[in-house]
Amino acid sequence: MALSVNREQRKLTQTPLLKIWVPWVGCNLNRRRGSSVPQFCNSPTMIVMVGLPARGKTYISKKLTRYLNWIGVPTKSFNVGQYRREAVKIYKDFEFFNPENEEAMKIRKACASAALKDVAAYFSKEQGQAAVFDATNTTRERRAVILSYAKERGYKVFFVESICDDPEIIAENIKQVKLGSPDYVDRDEEEAMKDFSRRIDCYKSSYMPIDDEKDRKLSYIKIFDVGSRYLVNRVQDHIQSRIVYYLMNIHVTPRSIYLSRHGESELNLSGQNIKELKVWTSHMKRTIQTAEALGVPYEQWKALNEIDAGVCEELTYEEIQENLPEEFALRDQDKYRYRYPKGESYEDLVHRLEPVIMELERQENVLVICHQAVFRCLLAYFVNKPAAELPYLRCPLHTVLKLTPIAYGCKVESFFLNIEAVNTHREKPVNVDINRNPEEALQTVPDHI
C-alpha cells in the first residue's frame, strides 16, 4: 500500500461539535464509534421474520427496531400486513387467507413486492442500515424470493423465526394485539377470536419452517416458546451477533420499570405494592442518598453517572454563555451529538448505557435512580424517541415515571411527589447561530436562584 508523503505534514483539527480529530475539516467522519456502535456497515442487513400469525413477529420487529435505532443503527420495519390493509381497504374474514383464493394471493404477493421495493429505497435513498421485513414468510418459496432480491443488491439476510405451539400463549397474543387491530374493529371478541384462529389454520398447511439441513448455509435464529430455547446458525457479523444477544435477553413477563431522578427528599413508593423491586443508582452521591432513604438494598452502576460536562462542569448556563458562547451555540445546534470539551455527548451516554439497557431487559421490576441526561436516554429507549428529541425530553425532579410494556409499546404513568422542586429543563432556543447575542442564547433558561 503506497504511503502518502503528505500525511506527515498534515496537522489534525478537532471538529467543533463532535470534538473528533480529523485530518481535514469535512473528511469522512463515519469511521468512528463509541463503545458499541458497529462499524460503518458496508452491506445493509435485512432481518426477515418467519412464523405463523400470533407468534410475536411484530412484537419482536418493533422492539428490535427500537433497540437498533437507539444504539445508532438506522433501522426501519416493514410490516406487510399494513401494505395489505392499504391495498384491501376492508377486511372481511379469514377466507382472504385461504391458499386457494387466487385473487387474494395475487394481492398478497404484490404487497410483499411493494414492501421489498420500499426496503431497497430505504437502503439506497435514506441511508438505512437495517430493515426488518415483518411478514409470515412461512414458505420456502417466499423466502427464496427474498434471498435472491437481497443477493442481487448485496444485502445481508438474517432470519428470525418464532416457533410456538402453546395454545395459551397464542390466545394471549391474539387478545393483546389482534382483537384491537383495524381488521377486527367492528367485531365482537368471540367472533374475532374464531376468525383469527381460522386465519392461522390457513397458513399451517403450507408452513415450512427453516430447515436445519436444507438451510444450513443461511444465517438465522429460531426462537422456541418465547425464549425457552434458541437455535442460532451462522452468525455472519457484529450486528447479527448483537441482534442474537438482544433477542436472547428480552422477555415478556409482565413487569414495570420505574425511572426517577435523584430527589431532594424521600421517594415514597409504599402505596405501590411492587413485587421484588430491584433498585439501581449511579455512583454519584445524590442518587445513593435517595436510595438510602428508601431503606432497601440497591446496586450502584457507574454507567448511570450523569453526563460529563467536561470543562463546563458546575457552570451555570449564564457562565457558559459568557465564557464559551460558541460552545453554547453548538450545543443548541445539535444537542444529541454535541460533546462538551473534554466531556461527553448524549450520543456517548447512549453507548455507555447500553449494558444497563441490556440488563434492564433481563430484569423484572426495577427502580432506576439517576440524573437528567441519563434519564432522557433511558426514556428515549423505552418510548422510542429519536435522537433529535431525546435531549429535550421532559423529566423533572420529584417525579417517578412508571413504564409498563404493553402490546407493542410502553405505557407511561407519572407519579408526582408534592414537593416544590427546581425546574432544570431548558428548551431549544430559536436562534442557535454561534453569532447570536447573549439574550437570545439565554432566552429559555429556566428560572433559578
Binding of residue 26 to another protein (CB under 8 A):
no
According to DSSP H, which parts of 267-306 are helical? 285-294
- CA–CA separation, 421 and 115 (whole Å): 49
Strand order from edge to edge, sheet including 278-281: 299-300, 278-281, 366-370, 257-261, 399-406, 409-416
- Binding residue (CB under 8 A) for another protein from 188, 253, 295, 418: 295
Binding of residue 353 to another protein (CB under 8 A):
no
191 vs 225, which CB is nearer to another protein?
A: 225
Query: For residue 441, is it left (φ>0), alpha (ψ between -120 and 50) or beta?
Result: alpha
Binding of residue 299 to another protein (CB under 8 A):
yes
Q: What is the DSSP string of 93-151?
A: -GGGG-TT-HHHHHHHHHHHHHHHHHHHHHHHHS---EEEEES---SHHHHHHHHHHHH
Q: Which residue among the candidates 111, 164, 377, 395 is catalytic per the annotation?
A: 164
Binding of residue 383 to another protein (CB under 8 A):
no
84 vs 352, which CB is nearer to another protein?
A: 352
Binding of residue 139 to another protein (CB under 8 A):
no
Binding of residue 399 to another protein (CB under 8 A):
no
Interacting residues with another protein between 355 and 374 (CB under 8 A): 355, 359, 362
Q: Are 58 and 408 a contacting pair, CB within 8 Å?
A: yes
Binding of residue 109 to another protein (CB under 8 A):
no
- Binding residue (CB under 8 A) for another protein from 80, 348, 350, 380: 348
Q: In this structure, which amino acid lies at residue 293?
A: A
Binding of residue 241 to another protein (CB under 8 A):
yes
Binding of residue 35 to another protein (CB under 8 A):
yes
Is 183 one of the catalytic residues?
Answer: no
Q: In this structure, which amino acid lies at residue 185?
A: V
Interacting residues with another protein between 39 and 98 (CB under 8 A): 39
- CA–CA separation, 213 and 215 (whole Å): 6
C-alpha distances in Å from residue 89, one per residue of 66, 78, 86, 102, 179: 28, 18, 6, 18, 18
Is 188 one of the catalytic residues?
Answer: no
216 vs 411, which CB is nearer to another protein?
A: 216
Interacting residues with another protein between 182 and 211 (CB under 8 A): none
Binding of residue 265 to another protein (CB under 8 A):
no
Binding of residue 234 to another protein (CB under 8 A):
yes
Q: Are 110 and 80 a contacting pair, CB within 8 Å?
A: no
Of 166, 137, 172, 162, the residue nearest 227 (C-alpha): 162
Is 262 one of the catalytic residues?
Answer: yes
Is 118 one of the catalytic residues?
Answer: no
Q: Are 229 and 168 a contacting pair, CB within 8 Å?
A: no
Query: For residue 208, is it left (φ>0), alpha (ψ between -120 and 50) or beta?
Result: beta
- Binding residue (CB under 8 A) for another protein from 152, 297, 435, 449: 297
Q: Which residue has the cell 426495577?
A: 366
Binding of residue 273 to another protein (CB under 8 A):
no
C-alpha distances in Å from residue 243, one per residue of 100, 216, 430: 37, 19, 39
- Binding residue (CB under 8 A) for another protein from 86, 189, 292, 326: 292
Is 293 strand, coil or helix?
helix
- Tell me how far, at minimum, the Cβ of 319 lies from another protein, in Å: 18
Binding of residue 33 to another protein (CB under 8 A):
yes
Q: Which residue among the candidates 183, 195, 306, 354 is catalytic per the annotation?
A: 306
32 vs 448, which CB is nearer to another protein?
A: 32
Q: In this structure, which amino acid lies at residue 277?
A: L
- Tell me how far, at minimum, the Cβ of 27 lies from another protein, in Å: 10
Distance of CA 410 to the CA centre of its chain: 12
Q: In this structure, which amino acid lies at residue 11?
A: K
Count residues contacting another protein (CB under 8 A)? Answer: 61
Q: Which residue has the cell 455507555?
A: 352
Piece of 71-79, 144-152, 293-301, 379-387 that binds another protein (CB under 8 A): 293-301
Active site residues: 134, 164, 262, 306
The footprint of another protein (CB under 8 A) covers 1-4, 7-8, 10-12, 14, 20-21, 23, 31-36, 39, 212, 216, 227-235, 237-238, 241, 244-245, 248-249, 280, 283-285, 288-289, 292-293, 295, 297-303, 313, 342, 348, 351, 355, 359, 362
